[in-house]
Amino acid sequence: MRPVRLCIGFVLGIGVMSCSSVPGTNRDRLDLLPRSTVDAMGQEAFADIHANGKVIDQGDQVRRVRRIARRVVEAGKRRYPGAGLEDYEWEVVLIDDDSANAFALPGGRIGVHTGLLPVAQSDDGLAIILGHEVGHVLAGHGGERLSQHLLIVGGTVIGAMAIGDDDETTREVALAALGIGSQLGIVLPYSRLHESEADELGLFIAAEAGFDPDQAIGLWQRMAKEGGGPAIEFLSTHPDPHRRIEQLQALLPKARAIRAQSGLAR
Ligand SMILES: [Zn+2]
């Protein structure tokens, strides 16, 4: 289902239209909720992750991830000024989990599984992953997925949210929309679109930060091999590996030029 058609369908069906444009790609995005609401949900989901006790927030490994994340976020702000990245107090943690995975939540919260580090291999690989995650935040994918779920499940959830009912179903739907929790089949094709968009934005952001975009090919090939483990976002939502590599290869000339212009290439 294409987003524009979703918006049009919403107009015809309910008589309200709420779309906005994704920075960098200019795609029409479904946008039914205020960003403050979506960000608060992301922060709540992140607090849940903290509460499960597997978060590592000190030591050399997390310092390395944070150092690279800082460069990537700063590059994202430079490349897409006014798109909202500067509004967040970014928080980046490592999560003690063997699966090769990372995730980003609305509100500027990023988690990297320890199992991702050997697959990322280098600072460049890690920067491309972190760029991808910042890309999800930049593009407002969490809010768009939440909006889609609202369309799918309709008034029940809207009503529950309006009266502040902290009912388990509402919570489940919100978490699923943010990519944490069970997934509804109808959302999956759209998530692949989100993944491609985050790949594009992330590649350019990592290049702007001075990292080597050519490392993206080997990185996503290694990630595809790792697929299948329990995961928050890569679980059945990642793009077809061949198409993903083709798309990245087509973006590389522009990414290399961005890196050269940044003056930060090592
Ligand atoms: Zn992703």
Residue 248 has pLDDT above 90, yes or no: yes
CA 193 / ligand 1 centre spacing (Å): 10
Both structure tokens of 117: 């580090």
Dihedral sign from CA coordinates of 142, 56, 72, 90? positive
Q: Mean of the pLDDT values across residues 10-29?
A: 70
- Of the candidates 121, 97, 96, 109, the one whose C-alpha atom is nearest the C-alpha of residue 66 is 109
> Would you tell me the crossing angle of helices 241-262 and 215-226 to the nearest 10 degrees?
150
CA 205 / ligand 1 centre spacing (Å): 14
Lowest mean pLDDT across 5-19, 122-136, 221-235: 5-19
The tens digit of pLDDT for each residue in 72-85 reads: 999 999 999 999 99
Q: Exactly one of 74, 89, 91, 133 is catalytic; which is it?
A: 133
Global confidence as pTM: 0.82
Share of the chain above pLDDT 70, in %: 74
In this structure, what DSSP letter does residue 55 have?
E
CA 191 / ligand 1 centre spacing (Å): 8
Of 163 and 93, the one with more pLDDT: 93
Give the helix/strand (H/E) hosting 103: strand 102-105
Share of the chain above pLDDT 90, in %: 44
The two counts, helices (H) then strands (E), for the chain are 11, 6
pLDDT of residue 3: 43
The gap between the terminal CA atoms of the chain, to the nearest Å, is: 42
CA 201 / ligand 1 centre spacing (Å): 11
CA 14 / ligand 1 centre spacing (Å): 30
In whole angstroms, what is the distance from residue 17 CA to residue 23 CA? Answer: 19
Residue 89's Cβ-count burial label (10 Å; 0-12, 13-18, 19+) is exposed
CA 79 / ligand 1 centre spacing (Å): 19
CA 103 / ligand 1 centre spacing (Å): 7
- Is residue 133 among the annotated active site residues? yes
Residue 31 has pLDDT above 90, yes or no: no
In whole angstroms, what is the distance from residue 190 CA to residue 1 CA? Answer: 7
